[in-house]
Structure 1
């Protein structure tokens, strides 16, 4: 599937996408988990956790992180590894835990340092500030941190899990 999508990209972008295939896959996983994170965050923040946006954000990121581990391990970094699975998972979740701080820092700064919350600003301004700081700035900072840390610490070795396809013998 990835190969057919890559072949449909016009040149010179195709060569760039193929060269950075792993990053493209990581970005697709990131986009998928961003949607999950955003939906969970907005549902929680507009419902049971209306007065606790940071708690809503942390829960949303944790759910998205579980999905991220499965997709990154089995797809984005499927040929990388170098660690026993339990060690790899522990490092993934530790780094993702640090990522939660990176993800939520812009939202915390927006709400509590810049005081972009009701009654200091309108409800519309608060919601736009929450979205921009939590779902755009926080996600971009968190993804950059996680890309670097996953490749450096969680999946450090290349081509250790490469799947070898055995040739089919010719029929007589």
Structure 2
């Protein structure tokens, strides 16, 4: 991740202010893209094999796996300068918020399959394309907006990047 931080630090002058002002959002988006690929690999592996008739179950399972990876990456990189809570409390809030995000992300595919009968189509390619659009464009966009807002507000509320080094160490030791 030091490579990406070096890129952010070397951003050209006119963009540097914007990039540095929104560095958490940029890092959050990079983590999101990484976990999206992770999620997609698991989802399509399941829906093209053992869970072909249960795409919502596959989406929830792949979403939970992606949330675990997301916690590690967000805690250690995107929001590493945030804190204000004990680590177990922060993790509990993160996983609760992310569980709501998984439900929000799975909602479009659930609606398409259970209310509009998308699995009735014969074309396998159509199902793959529709699953992709509903999962990774509509669903991820909705849950990403919710999670970024909720994580900054409740799980990682305090910006500690300006805190003196001694306070940073003290916060890290109590976690």
Q: TM-score range by the shorter chain?
A: 0.7 to 0.9
Gapped regions of structure 1 (runs ≥ 5): 166-172
Preserved contact between residue 150 and residue 156 of structure 1 (Cα < 8 Å): yes
Match of 1:37 in 2: 39
Count of residues in correspondence between the two structures: 164
The structure with more radius of gyration: 1
Partner secondary structure for residue 158 of structure 2: coil
Match of 2:173 in 1: none
Query: 2:8 and 2:87 mapped to 1: Cα distance?
Result: 30
Query: 1:98 and 1:17 mapped to 2: Cα distance?
Result: 29
CA-CA distance at 1:10 after TM superposition:
3.8
CA-CA distance at 1:98 after TM superposition:
0.7
Change in 2 beyond 3 A, CA 1:108/1:159: same
Change in 2 beyond 3 A, CA 1:124/1:150: same
CA RMSD across the alignment: 2.0
Match of 1:23 in 2: 25
CA-CA distance at 1:44 after TM superposition:
0.8
TM-score (norm 2): 0.86
Match of 1:126 in 2: 127
Instruction: Say if 2:50 is the partner of 1:52.
Output: no
Superposition map of 1:44-83 within 5 A: 44-83=46-85
Query: 2:47 and 2:66 mapped to 1: Cα distance?
Result: 16
CA-CA distance at 1:163 after TM superposition:
8.0
TM-score (norm 1): 0.87
CA-CA distance at 1:125 after TM superposition:
2.0
Query: 1:103 and 1:64 mapped to 2: Cα distance?
Result: 12
CA-CA distance at 1:162 after TM superposition:
5.6
Change in 2 beyond 3 A, CA 1:71/1:161: farther
Instruction: Say if 2:161 is the partner of 1:156.
Output: no
Gapped regions of structure 2 (runs ≥ 5): 167-175
Change in 2 beyond 3 A, CA 1:118/1:13: farther
Change in 2 beyond 3 A, CA 1:69/1:112: same
Preserved contact between residue 65 and residue 96 of structure 1 (Cα < 8 Å): yes
